[in-house]
Every structure is written in structure tokens, then in C-alpha cells.
Amino acid sequence: MVLAGCADDGSGSAAGSAPSPAQPTPSTTQPPSTTPPATESPAPAETGPAEPAVPAALPASRPAVVEIESLGVRREVIDLGLTGDGSMEVPQGPDPIGWYDQSPTPGESGPSVLAGHLTWNGTDGVFRHLDQLAEGDEVVVTREDGTVARFAVTHVDQYAKDAFPTARVYANTPGPELRLITCAGDLEPESGDYSDNVVVYARLLPG
């Protein structure tokens, strides 16, 4: 799949050594005649914080509403499929948030993809301030089965569209995650498209 691009007028197309041999086992040696002096046990090595446990995945259910309280965003969700050239569709208009329907539903295992516009015909789009999200900010998805999936932002990245890391963004993940995508960078006069994409990475919270 090619990643979503967002022209300001909404016409943008969607934007993808060998191990060493084992050493021979040493032969048994005669034990020492005297007991060697005791030595202090080495201090345990310091380790970083443990990775959080992966929450249990939810069954499939289409997203109905997305709320991002820190941005003042609450929108119903539309479906986005593929265009004839294999690129992802883009929402029509500044307000909708689109769910890429070839990705997992939010809460299922894997990266669920949501897209929205930065601008539309000179007006602010729903994801105009997406790049202002920070680690720990929550994205809440109400699903059609009535369940609510809460995600916490882990990081935000910006990529040039001509160097977009498709595998990193869309690769399978060990647990339920979200990818929120919009445009960024410079608006190119000839194409009316933006040069970059912003991608927000988020993980499902327990409970």
C-alpha cells in the first residue's frame, strides 16, 4: 500500500555473519587441594524499566467515533479503501477522520490506520494540530459494538513523502496499536500537495 497524501484541495493521492563454531568441551580437571577463598558475588547488573505488558486484543469492530481531548477533536469515522492505482483513499472534506479498512480495527492486534487532512481548500483540517500530540496523550476510539479502546501516544515522527518508511509504519505489531497520519511540511505550488507526512504512534492501554 502507498501512504496517504493530502493536497490542500483534497485531490492528493495516497502516498512505502555466520555464528562461530562451538568450542571443544574442556576435559575434567583435578579439583584443587584447598578450597579457594570466597569471593563477593558481583552486584546485579542494572536493567532498564521493563516493557509494559501487551494488553489483550479486542475482537474486530469498526471504529465509530475518535476523540482526542488534548486537541479538542471528536469526530465520526468514515471508511477509506484503495483507489484504482492501489493508493489509499483520502477523506473528502476537512472534518472526517478516515479508517483504512484494510488495516485492523482499533483494538485488534496490529496497527490500525486513521487518516485526516491538515488543510482543505485553505481551511484547517481535523488533523491540523496532530503534530502537537505528545507521549502519553490519549486517543479514544468508540467502536460500533459499544466498546471503547483507549490508546496512549508513544511518539510522533515526520517523514518526507519520498522517503516514507512504509514497512515501519504498517508492519505488524505484537499488540493493538494506532497510526494517525496527516500531511506536513511545505505546500508545493505546482502539485498543491505537502512534502511530508506526520505519523503518530499509539498503543492500546490496559483495561
Domain ranges (residues) in the chain: 63-204
> What is the predicted pLDDT for the residue at 43?
52
- Kindly state the cell numbers that stand for 39: 569471593
Fold of 63-204: Sortase; Chain: A; (2.40.260)
Q: What is residue 189's predicted lDDT score, i.e. its pLDDT?
A: 85
pLDDT at residue 207 in the model: 81
Q: What is the mean pLDDT of residues 123-131?
A: 98
At 146, list the grid cell: 459499544
Torsion of CA 99, 105, 111, 116, to 10 degrees: 10
155, pLDDT greater than 50: yes
Local confidence band at 31 (pLDDT 50, 70, 90 cut-offs):
very low
> What's the mean pLDDT when you consider all of the chain?
83
Give the 3-state secondary structure of residue 18. coil
Better pLDDT: 13 or 167: 167
Contact 149, 204 (CB under 8 A): yes
Nearest to 93 by CA among 58, 123, 54, 48: 123
Note the pLDDT of residue 47: 59
Better-scored residue on pLDDT, 22 or 204: 204
Q: How confident is the model over 75-107, as pLDDT tens digits?
A: 999 999 999 998 899 999 999 999 999 999 999
Longest distance between any two alpha carbons in the chain, whole Å: 89
Residue 86 backbone dihedrals phi, psi, to 5 degrees? 85, 5
> Is 105 in contact with 63 (CB distance < 8 Å)?
yes
- Which regions of 32-147 does DSSP assign to beta strands (E)? 63-68, 73-80, 97-100, 110-115, 119-120, 123-124, 138-143
